[in-house]
Amino acid sequence: MFDFFKARTPPLIGVDISTASVKMVELAEENKGHYRLERYAIVPLPRDAVVDGNIANLEQVGETIRRAWKILGTRERNAALAVPAAAVISKKVNLPAGLNELEMELRVEAEANQYIPFSLDEVNIDFQVLGPVANSTEEVEVLIAASKKERIEDRTAVAEQGGLKAVIVDVETYATEAAYSLAASQLPNAGQGQTVMIVDVGAQMIHIDVLHDDQSVYTREQSFGGNQLTQEIMHRYGLSYEEAEIAKRKGGLPENYASEVLQPFIQSLAMEIARAVQLFKNSTPYGVDHIMLAGGCASIPGVVEAVKARTQINTVAANPFIDMKLAKHIHPDQLAVDAPSLMIACGLALRKFDA
């Protein structure tokens, strides 16, 4: 039952299965808290293989994982994967300090039974002790996470189909936050004491996670994503979905693409993010000091500048590898383009180093 937050694990690779692609990251530890990027891979998924975070075609996703692993060029087969935040019910509770592991599990199960709208037989549950409750020595704050077993089983099944073994199943939001701990060095004072909105623009959804002084205070999803640009390319130039995806990434579109297709998309994305900022400000006591863009759209030329201009907030493209040493075969310029889309995979790869 308890399997979200495992202790120190054997060597593993972080595997992010999104709507559009499979991303893999393998890290090595130079010394405590300092890492080296050994290798990474990004392989597109067939259309509709993953829909709304659900694996719709096990065989296609498994085959894509197998291809990504071959491109990665590693011997490691242990993997950390993640389920979407929308598939997870999480809650923070205060429990007595000093409980042993069995006592804590029993208390967590009792707490979970009160707020999970499913039979406990249908879910996987785990917990993590976050630390002492403020102004109390008698209680600790505990994060409880639960997900339907079928969502976990889908991830482990496609990993196995792709020749890997899922040793950890995490939550995408937590993986992003782990990677943010590295990417935060891009911000003044590493974001300490400030409010940072992480905006992950996926194929179908924008995922918002706001951290205040490194603690999550707000999450939200908005329906908007890179698929809207792909579809416009398809309709405008008469291309298939696969052809439009390739053209979007590698170029070769007519001269009017930038002004008539790409720029309107960039402005629409900037407006969506500005709306997200306003919704956050209206519903919390915080402002926003910085915006960190993740996902493939963050690497589109002009997106960072457009968001900064629209929101009047300092905006950067996420790069969790900014202070890492790189293996010799990794090209820094290409990594800078790919880095924003590797946040979740990087955060999952970091689980190898959990104490």
Rounded to the nearest 5 degrees, what angle is found at the Cα of 324, between the Cα atoms of 163 and 184? 105
Give the phi and the psi of residue 47 in degrees, each rounded to 5.
Answer: -60, 135
Look at residue 10 in the predicted model and tell me its pLDDT: 64
Strand partners, 139: 96
For residue 61, with 0-12 CB atoms within 10 Å meaning exposed, 13-18 middle and 19 or more buried, which class applies? buried
Write down the pTM of the prediction. Answer: 0.90
Domains assigned to the chain: 87-148 (3.30.1490.300)
**SS3 call for 205:** strand
Longest dimension (CA), the chain: 66
Q: Are 172 and 15 in contact (CB under 8 A)?
A: no
Of the candidates 2, 353, 343, 22, the residue with the CA atom closest to the CA atom of residue 159: 22
Type of residue at 182:
L
DSSP E strand stretches across the chain: 13-17, 21-31, 34-44, 50-51, 54-55, 78-83, 88-96, 123-132, 139-148, 165-171, 195-201, 205-212, 215-223, 290-294, 314-317, 325-326
How far is residue 228 from each of residues 158, 205, 266, measured CA to CA in Å? 27, 10, 11
* Residues paired with 14 in a beta bridge: 25, 80
Report how far residue 190's alpha carbon sits from residue 214's, in angstroms, rounded to the nearest whole number: 10
Q: Parallel, antiparallel, or unpaired: how do β-strands 314-317 and 290-294 relate? A: parallel
| pLDDT for res 134 | 83
Query: Under a CB-based contact definition with an 8 Å cutoff, are residues 65 and 161 in contact?
Result: yes
Between CA 353 and CA 355 the distance in angstroms is 6
**Contact, 321 vs 335, CB < 8 A?**
yes
Phi, psi values for residue 354, rounded to 5°: -60, 135
Give me the tens of pLDDT residue by residue for the chain, a chain 355 residues long.
Answer: 555 555 455 689 999 999 999 999 999 988 777 899 999 999 999 999 999 888 999 999 999 999 999 999 999 999 999 999 888 888 889 999 989 989 999 999 898 888 888 888 888 888 888 889 888 889 999 988 889 898 899 999 999 999 999 999 999 999 999 999 999 999 999 999 999 999 999 999 999 999 999 989 999 999 999 999 999 999 999 999 889 988 888 888 999 999 999 999 999 999 999 999 999 999 999 999 999 999 999 999 999 999 999 999 999 999 999 999 999 999 999 999 999 999 999 999 999 877 4
Q: Which pLDDT does position 34 carry in this prediction?
A: 87
pLDDT confidence of residue 3: 54
Cβ contact 53:29 at 8 Å = no
